[in-house]
Structure 1
């Protein structure tokens, strides 16, 4: 299960700090609670520092979040992805799908 902390920056952007596995157990909570809370910012950084595991449901959710936000004009970046999760992202070509500039 994953939880998240929202941290607004001085320039009114948002950092989303995920903590835990982004998996099938997390998708409902994240989709129902997180997406409405972050869609009104100009820039949202999703911090993966404390995410050790992402399954296919989590990948789908991440794609949905990023694409939904981008459709609303929100710039999204993803940062501090650990090596194991980054390897999965690259195998599934997530950087190519979301845009290389999404990963910082």
Structure 2
């Protein structure tokens, strides 16, 4: 994988108690010189509106720094949350990290 792409894999429940740590980790990744941050949700079992809010804030902060945030491997619960809030239209979402690699790495 390109050094311009950093993968972040949160796990467990992404809610109010975890949202601050999530944003902090995204900020650290952004400071590492990445141009694309891939958030792989494969190990996230549940996300609530606080977790979604943290993701949106991270998205805005990265966009301001000219860094793209991309998501992959969301489960059914997270997919429904994204669809209900319209965030599935905001975020670029790939079914898996492999699918991301096939689509994105071919254009870098």
Q: Same fold (TM over 0.5)?
A: yes
CA-atom RMSD, angstroms?
Answer: 1.3
Deviation at 1:36, TM superposition (A): 2.7
Q: What SS is found at the alignment partner of 1:26?
A: helix
Partner of 2:8: 16
Partner Cα separation in structure 2 for residue 27 and residue 43 of structure 1:
20
Q: Is the aligned partner of 1:70 residue 2:28? A: no
Structure 1 residue 31: Cα displacement:
2.3
Please state which structure has a larger fraction of its residues in helix.
2
Give SS of 1:51's match: strand
Q: Is there any run of 5+ residues in structure 1 with no aligned partner, and where?
A: 1-8
Stretches of 4+ moved more than 4 A in 1? none
Please state if 1:35 is matched with 2:26: yes
Indicate yes or no: 2:49 matched with 1:56: yes
Query: If the length of structure 1 is used for normalisation, what is the TM-score?
Result: 0.80
Counterpart for residue 84 of structure 1: 77
**Residues 12-68 of structure 1: per-residue CA shift (max 9 Å, x gap):** 011101111110110122223x13311131111000011111111111001011121
* Separation (CA, whole Å) in 2 of partners of 1:67 and 1:22: 18
- Which consecutive residues of structure 2, in runs of 5 or more, have no partner in the other structure? 95-108
